[in-house]
Amino acid sequence: MTARGPRYQPMLAGTAPAPFSDENWFFEIKWDGVRAIATVGTTVSLRSRNDTELAGQFPELAELITLAPGTVLDGEIVVMSGGKPDMQALLPRLQAGAPGAGATPVTYIVFDILRRGEEDLTALPLSARRKILESAVREGPHVVISAPVEGRGEDYYHAAVAQGLEGVMAKRKDSRYEPGVRSGAWLKIRALKSCDCVIAGYTPGRGGRSPAFGALLLGLYDDGKLVPVGRVGTGFSDQLLRDLMDTFAPLETKVPQLPGISGFVVWLEPVLVCEVGYMEVTRERKLRIPRFVRLRSDKKPAECTTAQFTPARMQTAGPGSFQAQEPSLRKYHEKRNFSVTNEPEGVPAMSAMRFVIQEHHARHVHYDLRLERDGVLKSWAVPKGVPETPGEKHLAVAVEDHPLEYGSFEGEIPKGEYGAGTVTIWDSGTYDTKHWDDEKIEVMLHGRRLNEAYVLVKFRRPGKNDWLLFRTA
């Protein structure tokens, strides 16, 4: 058979605020390369995150036909240099067309198996998939199986950083494979904060940089519009400067891509994505002390949004930073240690009326309904989930207001913290208010799953936070 069959999108990871140890987790190196799903039959298909076929660029990985017959694998294509992945050395191999003689060889580091023969394995826990992976795949000159460690995440992280590596990945042993989903069951733990930005233009270089550019102008999408988040002028070698100028030449345009930018700028069509490391994000959502890391040919510009900025990463002191907290969030902040959990702290914001329903695997699995109002998310814990049948009534317990940014939060709340467990988004969207007072709330939800009218009615017992939630006909 050829390399055909079901197409799988890579499972994506959330971000952990700090390294941690837990016997329920695997920890492995975060490889700096190109993510690729390998479908192996009589030929090999290698599909990138943006669904580009890469097999022609990496013919040496055809050895998967004999090393991993009849499988679908997830892994990272890397070039190793001095014992570390070298992204700059990999970039020439990503150009269209077969590589020429003397091309730098690559290694495919396999860390998951999604299918073996006709059996889909994605519903199995990761621990079971690991055992199948080890029996279904043999290592070869260009194929290596990633070897995770169990439990000792902090030691492993510090050892990886000491070797100059980017960081580690943490994966729950019981996690199923969720194609295309950014899950809190997989977490990135990086030594440096980073985000993926759209290159919107550049300023001309001066002095020794006069043949090239001075700084790249960076943008992220916010509600569908590209907004400026700063500029980056460090992290470039002389060769990279020349290569980037060649790349930019056919993309020049007279159309300004970002608002509020003064001075002379060479604007570019917003089609290139780069990863930028940074220290902090200011209150104005600008990158502080940014440094260019690499181009991201595997990332679409539309994926580069301000949702990458979590408030836990933002400054809490210094000029222009956010210090005061919304009074209505006081209870929320009192229950959380933001140096440990990566839940959002919250900053003042204005936006459309949004709702979110989050599935929360804490001591007991429950769902949280959150409705935006008065600059916060009014929140209820719904143990049995939002009812989907008209007239069915479920208990909803009012809890503390949450910041608006919680509407996009997914991830793992660490052990020992309030609400410890995994949070994922079950549904989200906007809503219309039909009625809202202290005793009764009527709303119309417009979500991906739910597009119905719901009512919350408060129990009449004084001092209680119990409500009834039901869907109307």
Contacts of 162 (CB under 8 A, 6+ apart): none
Residue 256 maps to which CATH number?
2.40.50.140
Q: Which pLDDT score is estimated for 322?
A: 28
Q: Across the strands, what pairs with 183?
A: 13
Tokens 């020429």 correspond to 100
Contacts of 122 (CB under 8 A, 6+ apart): 8, 114, 115, 176, 177, 178, 179
> Does 98 map to a domain?
yes
Domain end (from 166, 189, 212):
189
**In angstroms, rounded to a whole number, what is the distance separating the alpha carbons of residues 281 and 419?**
26
Domain end (from 123, 154, 189):
189
Question: Please, how many CA atoms are within 13 Å of residue 267, restricted to the half-sphere of its CB?
Answer: 13
Copy the structure tokens of residue 427.
């549904």
pTM as predicted: 0.50
> Does 317 map to a domain?
no
> Does 421 map to a domain?
yes
Q: Which pLDDT score is estimated for 184?
A: 83
Residues 236 and 298 in one domain: yes
Contact 72, 39 (CB under 8 A): yes
Total structural domains within the chain = 3
CA-nearest of 344, 37, 33, 28 to 172 is 28
Residues involved in catalysis = 30
Residues 86 and 183 in one domain: yes
> Does 27 map to a domain?
yes
Which domain range does residue 40 map to?
12-189
Q: How many CB atoms are located within 10 Å of the residue 435 CB?
A: 10
Strand bridging mode 143-145 / 107-116: parallel
Q: Which pLDDT score is estimated for 146?
A: 93
> Does 319 map to a domain?
no
Edge-to-edge strand order for the sheet containing 12-15? 12-15, 182-190, 167-172, 22-29, 149-151
Phi, psi for residue 313 in degrees, rounded to 5: -90, -10
Instruction: Measure CA 17 to chain center.
Output: 13
Residues 106 and 222 in one domain: no
Tokens 């069951």 correspond to 185
Q: Which pLDDT score is estimated for 316?
A: 31
Residues 77 and 48 in one domain: yes
DSSP-derived 3-state class of residue 387 = coil
Q: Which pLDDT score is estimated for 290?
A: 86
In the DSSP assignment, the letter for residue 258 is S
Instruction: Walk along the chain (473 residues) in steps of 10 and give the mean pLDDT of each run.
Output: 72 83 93 93 92 91 96 94 78 70 85 96 96 96 94 87 83 94 86 87 87 93 93 87 94 95 93 87 81 86 85 33 39 60 51 78 90 84 90 90 81 83 87 86 88 89 80 83
CA-nearest of 338, 354, 305 to 417 is 338
